[in-house]
Structures are given as structure tokens and as C-alpha cells.
Structure 1
Amino acid sequence: MARSRAPSSCFGAKKQRLDEETTSRSCVPRNGLSAPGVVRREMCYFCFDVLHSHLHNTEPPSAPKTFPNSSYPLFVTWTYGKDEKLRGCIGTFTAMNIHSGLREYAINSAMKDSRFSPITEEEFPHLTCSVSLLLHFEEGKNYQDWQLFFNAVDRT
């Protein structure tokens, strides 16, 4: 059983409500930790753009130049409404390039999470997106060697 020793680097954003003057350098991950050079609000923007193009059958956005294309295990989470109710969350424990990973999992988490029906155009304006990059994996001592809301767990 592998687990992430530290919380994932995660940034959540509601694209249409972000202050355009705030720079990506000043973003704070949801877990309160900073991951300089890794987490960028533009990752959430990119997921919104990917989902928008999918919903409207238009060309997908090109690879962004606003954040690096490093490899990390990652998850994309969609929540809905003011209560931010979970609407989809899918990712991978296998490290992959951020650009292609976000492109793939923005769609998969929105359309293929078996717990939910696919996200619709009508829901799009009410969505919030979170991107989680998983860091610092280590072997767990046993099945109880993890903390709720702190570790990501791979049960393999």
C-alpha cells in the first residue's frame, strides 16, 4: 500500500469569480501549504477550457505555456453550486505530464465518474474545479497507516 506522505498540492478555483489581477505566484493551495513552481491557478483555468470545448464540440485548447509540463500523479475534482457538492473526481497515481493529464482527467472526471451523470452545459457556470498533484509517496506500515484528509491511498 503506497500513500502520499504529505497532503497533495491542491488548488481549487471557480474560473468566473477569480480576481484577474491576482497572479499565479500568489495562489495558496487549499491545504494551506505552498508548492512553489508547481501549483498554478491556470491549471484550473485549463481544465475549465478543456471541459468547455468538450461540451460545445469545439477544438480543445492548446497546451498552456503558463505552467510547467512536469510529471505528477494528479486528480481533477469538479464540485457544483455554493455548497460545492462533489460532481466528479477522477485521477491517477501514475505520474504523467501535467498538460496531457489535466486534459484527460478534466474530461474523465466530468463525464465518466460512475457515481454521477455526465456534467451538462447548464451546470458549467456553477462548477468549481480543483486540481490535486500528489507528492512524496512512501510505503505504509499497514492498512491503518494513513490520515483522513491528509493522505492519498493507493490500495494496490
Structure 2
Amino acid sequence: MSSTEPSANAQQQASQLGIPGEHGRLLARLARQAIAHRLETGEAPPVPRNLPEPLQQTRAAFASLHHGEQLRGCMGTLIGRKPLIEQAQESAVEAALADPRFEPVSRAELDRLTLSASVLTDPEQLWVDSEAELLERLRPGEDGLILKDGHRQATFLPAVWAHLPEPQAFIAHLKAKAGLRPDHWSPDMQVARYTSVTFTAEPPLQGAD
């Protein structure tokens, strides 16, 4: 399996999203190239033409950058409003340069970072009256989750389950991300879930310090 090829489970999800593996690997490569273009020229990357149809569909997408296991940037959208290729390119550049949690990525550093492009399904509203009911309906390892209460909102991609496999901890950390107390619940809480498939482009300088 190549470094940009998804796992067997991810391949099944990709099939459900209508994205063949080779198209997903192309998406990840183009997202990485978009960052390099912006860092090298200071200009927005051009949108490639004559791409496979799945990359031209309107889709939501996130892009994340990692140095080993350490997050270096993650940005994206939960609602698809642009062709997937445009959204992936835009999210990748924002993850590198506009994530407020991190300093901008340099061109040299980019060659040491892993890029992951995650394609999302449309969010599904979950009508739940309590955290206990949410825990019953949550699908660990599969669901991305959106919590919103008033002006506070946060999401975790399904990939976060790898670091927070226990459902109560998953929800507690997501609440904290939204600026809510771990035990918080209110009648106004809105919950939605989605699934995603992730394609990864490994850094060309693997093993470099």
C-alpha cells in the first residue's frame, strides 16, 4: 500500500462517497502542491482543470498537517459550497498559514509535514435530549461530531477517535474545544454527526530532523 492510499475501511467509506482511491490520492497530492505554490509565489494556487468528476463535486473538506504525531494545522468546512478540489486546496493553504493556534508553516518545514485531506459527508442532525442519549447513538470510531450551543461550536473529525477512543472523553474534550464545561448540557444544545474518508500525502523528507 502506498503512503497516500487509504486503509481497507477508508476505502469502503471512499466508495460510499463516490471517490475512488486513485482520485483521493490525487486530491491529497494537489492539496500539498497548493501549499507549496502559495509559499513559493505568494499567490493563490491555480485550480487544476480536467480533473476526475468526483473531485469536481461540491463537497465539504478539511486539511490537516502533522509533524509526526503532533498537529501543525487543521482547517476546513463542514458544509460543501465549492468543488472538492477547490475546497481541499483552500483548506490546505489555510491549515498551513491561517490556523490561529500555530505559527505559519515555512516552505522548508512543509517538506517535513504529513498532509491529510478529509472529505466529509453532509452533517446529519441528531435529535437528543441528553448526553446519555447522545452516548447511546454515537458510533465510536466512525462519527465526526458537531456540538453547538448558542454562539459556541466545535467539531471533531472521526480521526480524533484514534486519540480519544472513550466516548465520554471524546464528548468532554469536544465541549472543552467549544469553550463549554465537561458536564455542560442545555435544551438548546444542537448535535450533528458526519463521516469522512481521509487520504494522506507523506512528507518527501521522511526521517529528516
Q: TM-score surpassing 0.5?
A: yes
What corresponds to 1:106 in structure 2?
92
User: What residue ranges of structure 1 are gaps of 5+ in the alignment?
Assistant: 1-16, 20-26
> For residues 107-129 of structure 1, what are the alpha-carbon distances to aligned partners after superposition, in whole Å with 9 as ceiling and x for unaligned?
11111111111111121111111
What corresponds to 2:37 in structure 1?
53
1:151 partner amino acid? D
Question: Residues 1-156 of structure 1: matches in 2 within 5 Å?
Answer: 18=3, 27-29=5-7, 32-34=10-12, 35-36=14-15, 37-38=18-19, 40-57=24-41, 60-67=45-52, 68-80=55-67, 83-96=68-81, 97-135=83-121, 137-142=123-128, 144=131, 145=134, 146-147=138-139, 149-156=141-148
Alpha-carbon spacing, 1:31–1:79, altered in 2? closer, same or farther (3 Å): farther
- Contact conserved, 1:78 with 1:109, CA < 8 A, in 2? yes
- Contact conserved, 2:64 with 2:116, CA < 8 A, in 1? yes
- The percent of aligned pairs where both chains have the same amino acid is 23
CA RMSD of aligned residues (A): 2.6
| 2:108 aligned counterpart, secondary structure | coil
* TM-score in terms of structure 2 length: 0.54
Point out which structure has higher relative CO (alpha carbons under 8 A, 6+ apart): 1
CA distance in 2, matches of 1:141, 1:121: 45
Alpha-carbon spacing, 1:64–1:44, altered in 2? closer, same or farther (3 Å): farther
| 2:80 aligned counterpart, secondary structure | strand
* TM-score in terms of structure 1 length: 0.70
CA distance in 2, matches of 1:55, 1:29: 31
User: What residue ranges of structure 2 are gaps of 5+ in the alignment?
Assistant: 149-209
Q: How many residues align?
A: 131
Larger Rg: 2
Report which of the two has the higher share of strand: 1
Alpha-carbon spacing, 1:58–1:114, altered in 2? closer, same or farther (3 Å): closer
After TM superposition, which residue ranges in structure 1, 4 or more long, deviate above 4 angstroms?
none
> For residues 2-40 of structure 1, what are the alpha-carbon distances to aligned partners after superposition, in whole Å with 9 as ceiling and x for unaligned?
xxxxxxxxxxxxxxx858xxxxxxx32585342234151
CA distance in 2, matches of 1:30, 1:43: 18
